[in-house]
């Protein structure tokens, strides 16, 4: 038995998030079921670098699994891709030490949220159409208040099972690429719904409804009710995981 890391991407539109859920289809379930078929219906399990919510995508996601009998890795990846749905792609797999852990050994995760400011038929389902004018400079000023080791209770889903709401945000900024407005944020860890709640609150800054400095006040209140509505899931991507 050897431990392998897998690098994958997935379109989360049709899934109830990464993690296996009762009575709901998940990315984890699709992959585990496929591996089980490869191993003659012997149950196989995998463990991901984190969770993504329903409808959220991943450009770069890592999971690990303990497997046996793999003689040709390239052929194994080819077979896995052929059996998985088109919405899930395995880019590579490689052997690691048995103590390596896809979740606990990750040191930095980056998310991107995509918005398109003009109607575009090719961004449907992967970017949020938002035609209102936004002050990006003020949104970046507000985003600066996110950086550092802070309590993000105000930007987290309520009643989750985490031990702490402290996250160390290393960078957070908006930029324009083509006709898309993109928010990128990197941290050691993220809370449930944190990025979508953050984007929704920063949009309020961009609309001029709140001032940039109020982002810091929202964090200090440690109250989800102090922040604003979360943006739709389909614009969010787990963009990169680093070890």
Catalytic residues: 53
Kind of pairing between the strands at 128-129 and 180-187: unpaired
Closest CA to 5 of 214, 227, 241: 241
Closest CA to 205 of 138, 127, 149: 138
Closest CA to 155 of 204, 103, 206: 204
SS3 string, 72-105, reads CHHHHHHHHHHHCCCCEEEEEEEEECCCCCCCCC
- CA angle 62/33/9 to nearest 5° reads 30
What tokens were used for 128? 């949020």
């Amino acid at each position: 038995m050897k431990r392998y890391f897998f690098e994958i991407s997935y379109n989360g539109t049709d899934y109830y998030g990464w993690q296996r859920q009762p009575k709901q289809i998940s990315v984890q379930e699709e992959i585990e079921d496929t591996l089980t078929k490869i191993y003659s219906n012997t149950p196989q399990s995998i463990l991901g670098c984190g969770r993504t919510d329903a409808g959220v995508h991943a450009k770069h996601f890592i999971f690990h699994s303990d497997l046996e009998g793999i003689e040709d890795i390239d052929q194994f990846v080819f077979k896995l891709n052929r059996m998985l749905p088109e919405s899930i792609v395995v880019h590579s797999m490689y052997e690691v030490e048995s103590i390596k852990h896809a979740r606990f050994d990750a040191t930095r995760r980056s998310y991107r949220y995509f918005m398109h400011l003009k109607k575009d038929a090719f961004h449907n389902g992967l970017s949020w159409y938002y035609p209102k004018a936004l002050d990006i400079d003020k949104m970046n000023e507000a985003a600066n208040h996110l950086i550092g080791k802070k309590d993000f209770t105000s930007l987290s889903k309520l009643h989750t099972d985490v031990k702490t709401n402290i996250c160390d945000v290393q960078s957070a900024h908006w930029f324009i690429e083509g006709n898309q407005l993109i928010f990128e944020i990197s941290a050691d860890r993220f809370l449930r719904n944190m990025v979508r709640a953050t984007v929704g609150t920063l949009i309020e800054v961009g609309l001029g409804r709140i001032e940039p400095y109020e982002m810091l006040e929202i964090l200090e209140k440690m109250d989800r009710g102090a922040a604003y509505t979360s943006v739709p899931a389909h614009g969010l991507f787990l963009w990169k995981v680093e070890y």
